[in-house]
Amino acid sequence: MTRELFWLTLTVILTGILWAPYILNRCQVRGLGGAMANPSRTDKPQSEWANRLMFAHDNAVENLVIFAPLVLILNAVDYSTKWTVLACAVYFWARVAHVIIYALGVPVLRTLAFAVGFGAQAYLAWAIFQAA
């Protein structure tokens, strides 16, 4: 496994488990039956942090759709440098920061964390063209 694929794997795992805390909050607020029921406009609202975490999870999924193919393309063309590895690591840690900051409700830092992750994706896209 390349180091880029290692960071992709960690990012996939992170994205895959982000649902758990907000579902646990839903169980706490609505009870197990209420959490498993169909959504209704009359449902008890979740905690604000849980709502923000749901949005952060959505954002993580949306960005994984961009990050994963970039890493897989680099792997397919057998292109890896210390900078592509660093970009993948930066992307992962930017996503971790984004989730935490989003759940805490800190808007400016959330946007900065997102921008750092976007910059890492942009570098990976640029690297693909360097490999050609």
Residue 53 lies in a domain: yes
Distance CA 103, CA 49 (A): 5
Residue 32 lies in a domain: no
| pLDDT score at 132 | 80
Q: Which residue has the higher pLDDT, 35 or 61?
A: 61
Sole residue written with tokens 């758990």? 20
pTM of the model: 0.94
Distance CA 67, CA 28 (A): 34
Distance CA 104, CA 83 (A): 31
Domain that holds residue 113: 3-16+48-131
What does the pLDDT look like over 67-88, one tens digit per residue? 999 999 999 999 999 999 999 9
Residue 29 lies in a domain: no
Residue 27 lies in a domain: no
Which domain CATH number covers 103?
1.20.120.550
Residue 21 lies in a domain: no
Report phi then psi at 45, rounded to 5: -70, 145
